[in-house]
Amino acid sequence: MQWGGRFASGPSAVMRAINVSIGFDRKLWRQDIRGSEAHAAMLARIGLLDPADEQAIRQGLRAIAGEIEAGRFAFEDALEDVHMNIEARLTERIGEAGKRLHTARSRNDQVATDFRLWVRDAIDGLDGQLAELMRAFADRAAAFAADPMPGFTHLQTAQPVTFGHHLLAYVEMLARDRGRLADCRRRLNECPLGAAALAGTSFPIDRGMTAEALGFDRPAANSLDAVSDRDFALEFLSAAAISAMHLSRFAEEVILWCSAPFRFIRLSDAFTTGSSIMPQKRNPDAAELARAKTGRITGGLVSLLTVMKGLPLAYAKDMQEDKEPVFEAAEAWALSLAATTGMVRDMEPVLARMRALAGAGFATATDLADWLVRVLRLPFRSAHHVTGRLVAIAEAQGVELAELSLADMQEVEPGITADVFSVLTVDASIGSRTSYGGTAPANVAEQAARWQAALA
């Protein structure tokens, strides 16, 4: 029993089951070994560890890393967690020197350090995945910068946009996701090591040295906060939940676009599955599963917020429940990003279908209203009213606005001329949206190129 002489008998089976964390915190083994190497080097520098012992510890830890990498390390539930498993094996390998490693630290600051290192590593990997997905969207946006599709509000046809413009909206979302990760990384990059259990230590340790060795910007300034803070995990989960929501929105669009009523895109066999009884089916299961994983990620955020909300300072064993939500969210997020990137590169737009529907549903009504304002100088509210009456006439006749006769239009507004028909085409509509951020093809091509250059 690593926590020694205080207890006369061991814990009950139930206590062991609820207390043990090695089943999930073994994921921290790389970070634990890095932290221990830095701690041992610092102890040797200040004279609390003989150089020979520090060398033995370093060699022993690297040998243990090799054992774990090779799958030869026997993690034991009786040793509770990854920290005690590695320390016990170290002592088994190198003897008394291994027992000196825990000088001037506690499992409280040790796990806080390991967890920060793990989250930081996860952020770096996920940031790369987000950038790759942005590149995929930007590449497809550049390819389809001028191809029209219906733009929607309330899932009702609103105005024509280009397919490239629609895809670039997700590049902007993902850029904000990366910004949130960068903010999280910057704030978490303080080192808890040396805070010990909660009050610091009486040993003359050099916390700046260990912080620098582990790539942190500085040591955490308050020992109580250092061991009890899990804001970094909550921020990570929050960033994950927001990004997963973005991926889910795109997944929902993919699901709609693949459906027979839309038929906007096709996905290959690589990202679809069949039906057990309906041979004609091609189901967008990759999109559906990416959409579903949002619940797992959001659930992780709510779970950890609930764990932390009532905890007094400093450390409580409740905080052992901090890791599984983060581990699961990171895995689900990474898988969703990979699936989404694959779908973006795989999808084949049905351009003729999108173009045919881009002008349906009176999608150029706003262009008509704008023409009335620009050419006839009507107040916009008056132009809106005139356009509404013309839409009603077209609807009654079963035609689109561009198919109304000039005489029909002039019955509502005598000043209308044949020039109005020049703005009622899909291409004229999208070409006119030249304001910054608008859907004009030249705008879209420029924005896509800008992102491609930034992400190169």
* Catalytic site positions: 154, 275
In one letter, which amino acid is 60? G
Quote the CA–CA distance of 328 and 176 in Å, as a whole number. Answer: 22
* Degrees, nearest 5: CA angle 274-280-284: 45
Question: 51-69 and 82-94 are packed helices; what angle lies between their axes, rounded to 10 degrees?
Answer: 120
Bridge partners of 159? 151
Quote the CA–CA distance of 105 and 210 in Å, as a whole number. Answer: 12
3-state class (DSSP) for residue 153: strand
| List of residues 6+ apart from 232 with CB closer than 8 A | 116, 119, 184, 187, 188
In one letter, which amino acid is 31? Q
Bridge partners of 162? 148
Give DSSP secondary structure letters for 116-141: HHHHHHHHHHHHHHHHHHHHHHHHHH
Task: Name the residue among 401, 229, 377, 230 with its Cα closest to residue 304.
Answer: 230
Phi and psi at 350, nearest 5°, equal -95, 85
Q: Is 78 exposed, middle or buried (0-12, 13-18, 19+ CB in 10 A)?
A: middle
